[in-house]
């Protein structure tokens, strides 16, 4: 089985209903070692068959299937088992589903697929959390849910870059930190409220970065991805 270091540093979010566009981009990005994140928009339009087609490309990509399962334990276990059968590199569930749900998901996940939890969505800040009845600051909630995730035996978390340093200092070294909300210097922040540049996130201890629009909306997505990788190495 591949180790964490064998997996791509960057997963590009190709959350589009257009499967031909996704197939074209997945080949171009996989050629330079960038993984592919497929989310709800793609999955709802194309289903498991669409994921299988992406994985059957001549350059087989590493896929993070970002469906954020959150339901009763038995339902989530069945969903994880079905999704993991596609042989993706990563799947995720919502940590707020609780211990029993995460334990059931982990038992159902195949060994070759790594299971992450979502702590706090990067579109949410302290004010947004307060509106849904979570009075604690976002970073406190992230730490609480990350500890629970590790206790349940999952492989890591999806978190904001601003919690990465504390998480890396607290969790085990093998605990994966998948970080969305990454924006290269000068990029539009969009709907993300807790963001960081790629190099800042890696320096803070991120294992993988999720980057979407700065790559997908570039004139040459492959070149944009190359530039981001170069900026991290500089």
Instruction: State the DSSP H helix or E strand holding residue 128, giving kind and residue range, or none if neither.
Output: helix 126-131
- Buried (b) or exposed (e) across 6-36, using 16+ Cβ within 10 A? ebbbbbbbbbbeebeebbebbbbbbeebbbb
CB 20, CB 217: distance < 8 Å: no
- Give me the helix-helix angle, 19-30 and 221-233, nearest 10°: 40
Catalytic residue chosen out of the listed positions 68, 106, 165, 199: 68
CA 64: distance to chain centroid?
Answer: 6
CB 198, CB 221: distance < 8 Å: no
- Distance of alpha carbon 158 from alpha carbon 162, whole angstroms: 12
Residue recorded with tokens 């299937």: 65
- Cα 25 to Cα 33, 43, 56: the distances in Å are 12, 16, 14
Is position 68 annotated as part of the catalytic site? Answer: yes
CB 181, CB 139: distance < 8 Å: no
Which sequence positions are flagged as catalytic?
68
């Amino acid at each position: 089985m591949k180790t964490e270091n064998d997996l791509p540093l960057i997963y590009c979010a190709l959350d589009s209903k257009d499967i031909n566009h996704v197939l074209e981009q997945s080949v171009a990005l996989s050629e330079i070692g960038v993984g592919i994140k497929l989310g709800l928009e793609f999955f709802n339009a194309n289903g498991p068959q669409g994921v299988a087609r992406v994985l059957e490309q001549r350059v087989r990509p590493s896929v993070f299937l970002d469906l954020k399962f959150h339901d009763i334990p038995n339902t989530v276990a069945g969903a994880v088992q079905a999704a993991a059968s596609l042989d993706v590199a990563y799947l995720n569930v919502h940590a707020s589903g609780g211990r029993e749900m995460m334990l059931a998901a982990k038992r159902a996940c195949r060994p070759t697929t790594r299971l992450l939890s979502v702590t706090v969505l990067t579109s949410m800040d302290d004010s947004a959390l307060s509106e849904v009845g979570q009075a604690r600051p976002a970073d406190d909630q992230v730490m609480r849910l990350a500890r629970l995730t590790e206790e349940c035996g999952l492989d890591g978390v999806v978190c904001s870059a601003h919690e990465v340093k504390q998480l890396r200092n607290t969790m085990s070294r093998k605990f994966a930190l998948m970080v969305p909300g990454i924006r290269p210097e000068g990029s539009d922040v969009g709907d993300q409220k807790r963001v960081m540049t790629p190099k800042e996130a890696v320096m803070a201890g991120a294992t993988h970065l999720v980057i979407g629009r700065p790559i997908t909306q570039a004139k040459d997505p492959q070149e944009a991805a190359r530039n981001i990788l170069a900026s991290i190495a500089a």
